[in-house]
Amino acid sequence: MKFQMLTILFLFISIVPAAAEEIIKEYSGTETVSSEPFTVTDGWEIRWETKGQYLQILLNTDKNVPLEMPIQQMGPGSGTYHHAEGGTFILDMNASGEWKVTIMDVDEK
């Protein structure tokens, strides 16, 4: 019985497709930088890592109107911010120290 349950579970996991991910843009630096406008579909992420003293990321519209500040990392660290709504955006990275930011299109279908 346990073997049958494991087989069914394995088949279910094998059938369910994994989320497709695509790198849209990558940025890195040691100081404050603004990105060029980038366009993403619904369900995208900002993935960041920093070895510096701080990293703040401000999410703006394509007209550079601030929407929110989803990332405020104090000290070294990393993380992921998920944004459900697609569109065209600009990021402002305010940092002190080495950092890397990757914009990912995450297909959740």
Letter string b/e over residues 67-92, b meaning 16 or more CB atoms within 10 A of that residue's CB: eeebbebeeeeeeeeebeeeeebbbb
**pLDDT score at 84:** 93
Q: For position 2, what pLDDT does the model report? A: 53
Show the tokens assigned to 79.
């993380």
pLDDT of amino acid 9: 45
Predicted TM-score of the model (pTM): 0.79
Give residue 47's identity as a one-letter amino acid code: R
* Half-sphere exposure for 101 (CA within 13 Å, toward CB): 27
Q: Are 56 and 108 in contact (CB under 8 A)?
A: no
- Cβ atoms of residues 67 and 59 within 8 Å: yes
- All structural domains of the chain: 20-107 (2.60.120.1540)
Per-residue pLDDT at 38: 96
Q: Could you list the pLDDT tens digit for every one of the 109 residues in the chain?
A: 555 544 444 444 445 555 589 999 999 999 999 999 999 999 999 999 999 999 999 999 999 999 999 999 999 999 999 999 999 999 999 999 999 999 999 976 5
